Structures are given as C-alpha cells and as structure tokens.
Copies of this chain bind each other. A is one copy, B any other.
C-alpha cells in the first residue's frame, strides 16, 4: 500500500495502531459479546448495559460523559420499556481546534446462531482475516475505531488535533426513538460549538475501494386502503357480484410504475434536479462492478445496462417499490376469501428537490383519478404514514476534502464519492437540526452483511479504518486552521 504522503507524525500513529491490533480486536470482542439488540424487548437491559460500557470507554479516554435519560416508550402490545440513555461526550476545548462531533450507535439487529450463522453471533470470531459477529460492522466496529484513533493520540501523548464530541445511542436499529427531540433540545448548547459532524454507519460501494457518502434518498411511504365492508366474504357466495376491494387495489398499484421502472404518477419527475457535468464525472470515476452487484442480489438482469445509469437510478432519481398488501390472504395454500379491507403498501424514494407535500398530493390525486374510473362503490383511503426527506451534502465542503486526503494517505487511492439509495434519516436529521456540515465516512466494505447472518468487518478495514480516522483528525485540523487563518486574514484586510 502506497503511503507516499504520510508524514512522520502519521507514521508514528500508524505504527502504534498496527502494534495494538490485538488490543483493538479484544475491545471489539468485548462489545460484540453484549447482546445489545434494541429490537427485542427482553434484551433492552443488555442495550442499557452496553451504553454503560461505552460511557466507561469514553470516560477512560478522558472525555466528560453525560448519559441523557430519554424516559420510556410503549410497545404496540402496551408494554412500557425504558429507553436507553444517549451518551453525549466531550473531549478537548482548544479554541484553535475545530470541534468534530462523531455519531455512532452500539445497539444491534437481532441475531441467532440458528438463523444461519457459521459462528456464534455474539462471539467475535476471526476467519480468513474477517471478524465475524453481530455489530462488527454495524456499528460497534466503526465506533471503536474512532475511539481507538483518539486513544492513539492520548497513548502517544500527542496534542489532540481536534476537539471531540460524541453522540452515541442505543436505539438506532429501533428507529432512534427520542434522538431527534434530544438533538433539538441540545442544538443551542451541546451542538453550539460543533463545526463538523461525522457519521460512520454505512458501507463502501465496493469490497475494496474506500468511499465517502454525500447523499441519501428520502422515503415517502404510502398506504392505499380499499374497503367494501367490515367482514371478509366467501368467493363462492359473492364472487362475480361485487366489486372486490383487492381487484380495485391491484388496479391502483398497477397504475404506479410501468414495466421499464418509470413512475407513472403525473408530475413526479418535475422537481428532480438535473444532473450536472461535475456530478456526471463523479459517477464515471466510481468503482462499481455491475456483474458482482447483480450476482450479490440474485437478479438475472437490471433495468439498465451501464454503471452510470444504474447508479443514477439508485441514487439520484426517484424509485417506487410495492412492498405488499395487508388484509389479503398471505399464507401458504388456498383460502377462497374475498378480503373486505386491503391495504397496499408502497414507497417512493425521493431525491432533491422533490417536496414531500407535493409528492403526497400527486400520489393522492393520481390514485383517486384511477379509482374514480373504476366506478367502484368501495371506500378508498390514501395516506402517507411516513415521509423522510433526502439528504445531500456538498462534496466540495472542507469535511469531504479532509476525508479524501486521509483516505489517499491510508489507502493510497481516492475514494468513490457515493450516495445511498436508501434513506439515512440520521444524516438528514443532524443536518437539518444543527445546520452543520455532515459527512458519512464508512469503513466497512460492501460485503460486510450488516443486518444479515454472518455480519463481519475485515481486520484490514477495522485497523486501516482506525488509521483513516486518525489521519482525518490531522487533515481536518489543518484545513480548518488554514480556513480560519484565511478568513482571519480576510477579516483584517
């Protein structure tokens, strides 16, 4: 690996990290051993135990740690559960330094050996250079990599290049309950002196090439309910004489997208931002193995044939997916029922500059139009129970420049500038509440299998990721101070 540009300081830091691999892996093993699954209620106490462990780890760095109590929440079955506290941590207050806030989470998705894991999901197991375990890449590994990068400066008794803030939560896999409210409350206090926000809770686009993420699509979820009455009917006794709600619903759902994948809702593409020349160039440079991606997901063919078209349609054009139908027969076998009330579920991943309220209006008008042509006496109800906005950062921002340089230093190549076709509410939430620059700086590879069986992070990515964070501290410090001096000079002039 080329490290032509590494300074002596960087060399010292990298050597320390290399020499302490086993310690860092031991840390991760300890964290993975905690079944901090925030989805299953009976494991909530483990999440709370995990938060305490993370708080201790930050305190050991020398950080001031606050565990902010978020109260409790009620499950659909009426059960009331305590919410794990959110950690707000602070380390360093040098006015010369930029303040970087790191967001991560230490809760995990459910995992059981029987689901198809080759090793116990809560025992970090190294096989062929990969560290397998639930949370290894999502998100305990990256959180520890950041902490260990800070630890390295402390251990080597180096001056901290940045002031650190930490937001560590334990409910990310269950929808980050209470976090948005906390961010709003802390916006004028905890966040007031934050310059940059870094999130490391996603993956590279490829297995080998590092990436920086600067945007994600939003998600507008829709329910389309069609109802003929209060009780399901028998298809022998009523088949042929009534307007079946499921037939209405199927016609409605069939009107949404054509077979080429183009959304048929009038006006839906009107506000989609045009692709700029600069953007198009970013897409050309991206390393993306179409064939590998196709094989990974198992489909025979994509809707488009070039890398650019695929990525554009995944990241910066809206898409519409139908997820299923509630209320209809869904089990194996046969049931000759005419369901009385069916709810179709679909969602539109929207992109800048689509407006959620406009999208909702377009969808409702379109569906009502299609429905009225059917002369059905059934009741139609269209709702948008969830609307998450897209997120887009400026790749020319200081934060991205610093990360790009650090990546070049550690990995010897420029990163892919990528977006996420999925919705990353956390990035959008940080950006819209704090109005700070937000960057997603992943260290996990595309094949890490977050949320899947046999989740892993490679030893390489974990350790080089730790170096990347350390290098990033130095770069953002330099760039920030240069900018600061420049603006200072400008102010004097």
1/0 contact string of A453-472 vs chain B (CB within 8 Å): 00000000000000000000
Q: Which residue of the partner chain B has the closest CB to A423?
A: B236
Give every chain B residue within 8 A of A244 (Cβ-Cβ).
321-322
Known: A242-B302, A243-B301, A259-B375. A386 touches B334 (CB 8 A): yes
A299 adjacent to B236 (CB under 8 Å): no
Give every chain B residue within 8 A of A319 (Cβ-Cβ).
235, 239-241
Contact of A329 among B250, B323, B337, B386 (CB under 8 A): B323
Give every chain B residue within 8 A of A332 (Cβ-Cβ).
326
Known: A314-B240, A325-B328. A229 touches B298 (CB 8 A): yes
How near does chain B come to A240, taking the closest CB pair, in angstroms? 3
B237 adjacent to A421 (CB under 8 Å): yes
Measured in the bound complex, the distance between the Cα atoms of B333 and A326 in whole Å is 9
How near does chain B come to A419, taking the closest CB pair, in angstroms? 11
Give every chain B residue within 8 A of A219 (Cβ-Cβ).
236, 336
Contact of A349 among B240, B302, B386 (CB under 8 A): B240
Measured in the bound complex, the distance between the Cα atoms of B338 and A257 in whole Å is 14
Residue A210 CB within 8 A of the other chain: no
How near does chain B come to A216, taking the closest CB pair, in angstroms? 8
Residue A251 CB within 8 A of the other chain: yes
How near does chain B come to A238, taking the closest CB pair, in angstroms? 6
A330 adjacent to B326 (CB under 8 Å): yes
B328 adjacent to A297 (CB under 8 Å): no
A-B pairs, top 8 by smallest CB distance, nearest first, are A236-B422, A229-B298, A240-B319, A324-B329, A324-B328, A300-B377, A330-B330, A301-B377
